Amino acid sequence: MKLSLSLILASLFIFSCGKPNSKPEVQQEAISADDYQFSINQKPSKRKTIRTDKYWYTDEYYRGDISLYLYDDGKVYYELENLGSGEGEWKYADDKITLKASFSFIDMEFELFLTERNPDKFYLKFTDSKGTQVKEVKLKQ
């Protein structure tokens, strides 16, 4: 009986562990604030025009699309599909843009950065209920 129970528990342990998530680690590239200027709307956020302003977006997030509009007054307007929209602030530091906003009862923080493996690829990093997420983003102009 003890042997059977031990075998069952050992089998459950082995099969529940499985393979670890083999997502490749995305490395940040050291770049200057000027390298991000092309993606910032050259006007204050109070003059935003969502239909024509440029924005970063990803459609790879399981909860829906994420859109981020950056303005030269340090403000960001965000749209989270299925969740809503709002405003926050952004700043450049440590070779990346950090975006902070409050949504409902949650404080959100995103990092927008360039990778060294491909200088044409920008990524958005954030944490949600499933852990740290890193999603490729594209600029819509």
In angstroms, the Cα distances linking 29 to 43, 77, 137, 140 are 27, 25, 15, 22
Statement: 24-140 belongs to CATH 2.40.128: yes
> Which amino acid appears at position 15 of this protein?
F
What digits encode the pLDDT tens for the residues 69-98? Answer: 999 999 999 999 988 899 999 999 998 999
Using DSSP's 3-state secondary structure scheme, residue 107 falls into strand
Task: Sketch the domain layout of the chain as residue ranges.
Answer: 24-140
What digits encode the pLDDT tens for the residues 11-42? Answer: 333 333 434 443 457 777 777 788 788 899 99
Nearest Cα neighbor of 103 from 89, 128, 90, 85 is 85
Q: List the beta bridge partners of residue 109.
A: 100
Distance separating alpha carbons of residues 113 and 28, to the nearest angstrom: 6
